[in-house]
Amino acid sequence: MRNTKYDHCPRVPEGALTVEMLCAGGGPVMLEIGPGRGMFALQWAEANPEARLIALEIRRKWATLLDERLRARHQGRARCFAEDANTVLPRLGPDGCVDFAAVHFPDPWWKKKHAKRLVVRDDFVHEMTRLLKPGATLLVQTDVEDRATEYFERLVAHPGLVAQGAPYVDESPFAPARSNREARAAIDGLPVYRMVFVKAAG
């Protein structure tokens, strides 16, 4: 039987989307993909009260619980939606509406049949780059070295992105805000492969 417990999960409207349709207030915009349990979103929104945050999380339960916490603390300027980022990004605009973007430890899928579910694909890189404002910062991090190599090659190949590391950086540009998995890796002493890109001007 289908689990209906999170049928009320927060969804984005149909059709073309703007930041103003998704969160309240003004100020710079952070876009987080796949926040999971949401520690980064909660910490970042708390530390940046002048900014807005939009998170897209495919799991309905986690999106619902995180959105409840964000709305209770930030009156709509920080939101999490139960959505597949790969279907929402192409509908979001205008170009250059995002100031910061974070993709922490994406792609927990390993089987070949799940390849279509991968987040950091060429079309994702294209849409994400389109949404970033010139000078905006994108962080992609993972603890899986092969995935890091794959992501870096894909990201650095885009003419709109300029790598800030060679290829990895030691510290997140958004520290001290950390994702749950990032905090766990620090406790366990696991390496984290952090890639930082800036959107090229023009």
Ligand X SMILES: C[S@@+](CC[C@H](N)C(=O)[O-])C[C@H]1O[C@@H](n2cnc3c(N)ncnc32)[C@H](O)[C@@H]1O
Residues that bind ligand X (CB under 6 A): 33-36, 56-59, 62, 84-86, 104-106, 108, 119, 179-182
Specify the residue, 133 or 184, whose C-beta has the smaller distance to ligand X: 184
Specify the residue, 6 or 25, whose C-beta has the smaller distance to ligand X: 6
Q: In terms of DSSP bridges, do strands 132-142 and 98-104 run parallel, antiparallel, or are they unpaired? A: parallel
Query: In whole angstroms, how close is the CB of 39 to ligand X at the nearest point?
Result: 7
Specify the residue, 10 or 36, whose C-beta has the smaller distance to ligand X: 36
Sheet of 161-163: strands edge to edge?
78-82, 52-57, 29-33, 98-104, 132-142, 193-199, 161-163
DSSP codes joined into one string, 23-52: S-S-S-EEEEE--TT-HHHHHHHHH-TTSE
In whole angstroms, give the CA distance from residue 30 to residue 22. 12
Specify the residue, 83 or 99, whose C-beta has the smaller distance to ligand X: 83
Query: In whole angstroms, how close is the CB of 1 to ligand X at the nearest point?
Result: 22
In whole angstroms, give the CA distance from residue 74 to residue 175. 20
In whole angstroms, give the CA distance from residue 13 to residue 16. 8
Coil, helix or strand at residue 69? helix
99 is a catalytic site residue: no
In whole angstroms, give the CA distance from residue 190 to residue 148. 14
From 84, 107, 143, 188, active-site residue:
107
Query: In whole angstroms, how close is the CB of 174 to ligand X at the nearest point?
Result: 12
Query: In whole angstroms, how close is the CB of 83 to ligand X at the nearest point?
Result: 7
The residue nearest ligand X at its CB is 34
Q: Please state the length of the chain.
A: 202
Residues noted as catalytic: 107
